[in-house]
Structure 1
Amino acid sequence: MTTAETPDLITRDTAFDSYLRGLGGEDGEGLLGHLVIYTIADVDPIGQAELRDWFDELELSPSYLPGPPRQMDAFEKATSAAKASYPMGGTRRRDHGKHGQSVTLMMRGVVRDETRIIRHLVRELADHDNEELSYEVCLAEAQFLRSADPALPDGAGDMTLTPDEAEIGRLPADERDIITGLLSQIETDFESRSRYIGADRLRKMLRDYIEIELNAVRVHAGVYFVHRRHAPKLAALRTLAARFSGELTRIPLPDADEMRTMVDGAFEAKAQADLESLARDIARAQSDPKAYQVRKLHQRYLAVQNAAQDYQTTLETHLSATEATLSLVQAQMASLLIAAGTADQETL
């Protein structure tokens, strides 16, 4: 048995904490696996090179590394996040949600082609008495000009922000301050996203690693079951998340009938939903099957089949409902392959 490690979850119950420590480690006696919860919100700035070094150090698969930041993506996200709403005539009115007018600042797309993206910062008024919107006024233009230099990576380019000083100058001082702050926010956000990997991409990185590499079962939204055989990699992921101020918590799950029933139910619910969706798509393709569609549908079937086989082998269990539905969809898939003239029974 490996040395027990301190569990991520600490309670005020000494006996329970001792039990959790006993479950720790890949070979913990009575350990089925871990429930995993992660939170990636306000992360520390991290570049792709530093993240790659951490992956190497922690012996994590580099296939899940996010690509380097793209300036075009940084522009789109920075401008999309630029929003503000406040009452007309002052930001401290308490009844503006029911009476009078409120101001909303947001970005509107204007032009998008192979060379540039243009968005306008607009100001619109909403009358809460009759819910009518006034004419939108453009306050600034944000433009991203894509680089034509073939030596630069895809998505490279430059952003320019051009405020309409005349329109902004007509507004009260407190509104001018809000608009100036919003434009400054766009510039800061663009610079940060151009240099560092954002929280959204780090969140996706962890989710993909847990779901795909560790064959996790989603028990609830944001809560996953990971089998004990993946405990070392899960520990490495927790160390990785902590380095950019993310949180990943592992809760040891005892190998008990109740726990197995919960995990089996979560896996079967996901497999059943995937197979039902697949069955509907196969039925739609029957009338006019195209080779590329059939290949994609077959790949989806194999993905569910392989996941079910791996799960049953790993947990030494039998999912009769999933197996029955797999057999029905297998017959449906075979019929589609024959209709498309590409049947190959051996692959099934």
Structure 2
Amino acid sequence: MTRCDSAGEDRGSLRGAMREWWLHVGLICVPLLAVYLHVPPPRLSPALHGWHSAGGSFAFRGSSVFYRESFGAVGSSDVVILLHGFPTSSYDWNKIWEPLNQRFNRVVALDFLGFGFSDKPRPHRYSIFEQASVVEALVAHLGLSDHRVNILSHDYGDTVALELLYRSDQKRSGHLTINSLCLSNGGIFPETHYPRLLQKVLKDSSFLSPLLTRLINFPLFSRGIGEVFGPHTQPTDAEHWDMWTGVRFNDGNLVMDSILQYINQRLEHRERWVGALTSTQVPLHLIYGPLDPVNPHPQFLHLYQAVVRRSTVSVLDEHISHYPQLEDPTGFLNAYLNFINSF
């Protein structure tokens, strides 16, 4: 036997050993993966249970939508509707709920379809247009169709708010009458929006996303959420778990890839939604956490101020990032109330 033949046999044996090793790994991993894919969602914390118990639901096109409503300031007719971001829920507003109650007669928040305690149908084509219709349906359900409402939004909710603004200014059937709009840390401009790597993969890979949505676990989720909070304003372990519990409720992790198509929708409908901002006569305000890696400073802020000239702006402390209402609830609330009280 020549040296070349011997080397070829060695390589063949090595390849065979490697195939056998991977086979064993696969035989071990498959049952472990099967077990993991059936891990039940975590139980609601007392705080999250209290939030859920204080809410209600209404039917929207065959699905149940969760909302919270409370009555506050006597002698005021002002209503504020709170629109949350991705991938969390109305619970994002828990730190400023009671102070808002002291200023507004009615404070209303909902979990968008596919989020939090609302139904999460699948397969389903989630869209910003549908979520705007959910908000309109909630307003009608609560008997607020004849009221002028103030909208306070964050992240994903910003884009829903812009569709509502467009419908309001165009006087579309069933539209809200908007008294004011306050946005916060949302990807208003596709050109200054930088989604996280996992978000990009989930929205773009039809092959990987069904597997990845099942493999997302608490450590991976909490690491991703931590990246969009400031280093000095990180959520507590309990807050991480509450966010994750909201995602896992009704298997929400399995629809994240479908919901993330909103990033593509922002690009496709930029003219409609940015145009609504630039043409409206509704009072506008932006509350901005400048450490935000998703809508980074100074690119985002400079573009916003150049394009949306009628809007006032509150820039929070330099260590506040993508979730300003959770990272700096006092600063966020003061900025919002200063805006509301200015007109």
TM-score exceeds 0.5: no
